[in-house]
Structure 1
Amino acid sequence: MSTPTSPGSGAPTDDLGRVLRLVSLAMLAGVAVIAAVTVFTIGDSPGSGVDAFGAILVSVVFVAAAFVVPKRVIKPWPPGSGPDEVKAAGQLRSAAFLSLVFAELPTLIGLVNSFARGVWLPVVIGALFSVAGLLLTAPTADRLRGWLARLESAGARTGL
């Protein structure tokens, strides 16, 4: 990886990381608001064990995808390729957004299921899994550096 251009400034991925962390915090707040509004809108019926099992199953699948998909999106560059900061930042951004979207999906699917069945348990379970997924897959500085190292693992330089 290349070094920062001026002393005192952060690594080039720091600006991208700040923006992505703001997006992940906004998604986290959105999950909390969606769950709270749904619980207060739906009423008193929590739902059955089938509702809970379905929500857990869907949540586990999508949170697992939030961990797996970025590794599929970020592929090492060929050794002969020249530095391309825009392409590298685009791949990092795509990986982060896909990870965040998959982590948020349990809440959105729970929301639909809650309103379709008139129970609040699916959205609450989905929100709990989404919060955990968003916190565990958030684009931290270490995660971005790992993704960047994966891009450069074949010997190419990304320019970041």
Structure 2
Amino acid sequence: MLSGVVLIAAVTVFTVGDEPGSLADALGSIAMSVALLAAAFLVPGRVIRPWPAGSAPDPVKASGQLRSAAFLSLVFAELPALVGLAGSFARGVWLPVAIGALFSVVGLLLVAPTATRMREWLARLESAGAHTGL
């Protein structure tokens, strides 16, 4: 995913022209990127809900919740680059995609589903006393 974001930005910067864009382009890209990265950090907390204490172990359901949380956080982390791509082509400037790609790379590095993060999410699932079977 990281290489895709970098490739999108590089191709767009060399394709749209020499104009970087205005201050409004930069501020709009920063605001949009911050909002999307905030969503990337908040989504796992909304998707992963603690299971009731008396629940039977269900590893399929548990892995589905973990997979959904990981997928949605990665999608939201990559969106700044894709929205910046659309903004760059719409305005004919390269600054929106460059800013979006920068935020996306940082976001992907911070929200990627590492083993530690997956263990934390699993602990959140089992925090009410239920066992997921994972």
Indicate the TM-score class for this superposition, using the shorter chain for normalisation.
over 0.9
CA–CA separation in structure 2 for the residues paired with 1:82 and 1:32? 44
Counting matched residue pairs gives 134
User: Which of the residues 65, 68, 75 maps onto 1:101?
Assistant: 75
State the identity %. 76
Q: Does 1:46 align with 2:20?
A: yes
Partner of 1:130: 104
What is the SS of the residue equivalent to 1:54?
helix
Partner of 2:95: 121
What is the SS of the residue equivalent to 1:154?
coil
What is the SS of the residue equivalent to 1:114?
helix
Letter in 2 for 1:41: T
Q: Does 1:155 align with 2:125?
A: no
Partner of 2:11: 37
Letter in 2 for 1:56: I
The runs of 4+ residues in structure 1 deviating greater than 3 Å are: none
TM-score by length of 2: 0.99
CA–CA separation in structure 1 for the residues paired with 2:3 and 2:65? 25
Q: What does 1:77-92 correspond to in 2, within 5 Å?
A: 77-92=51-66
Tell me by how many angstroms 1:29 deviates.
1.2
Tell me by how many angstroms 1:155 deviates.
0.4
Q: What does 1:17-36 correspond to in 2, within 5 Å?
A: 27-36=1-10
Q: Which runs of 5+ in 2 are unaligned?
A: none
Residue deviations 1:15-71 (CA, integer Å, cap 9, x gap): xxxxxxxxxxxx111101100110010110000000000000000000111000111
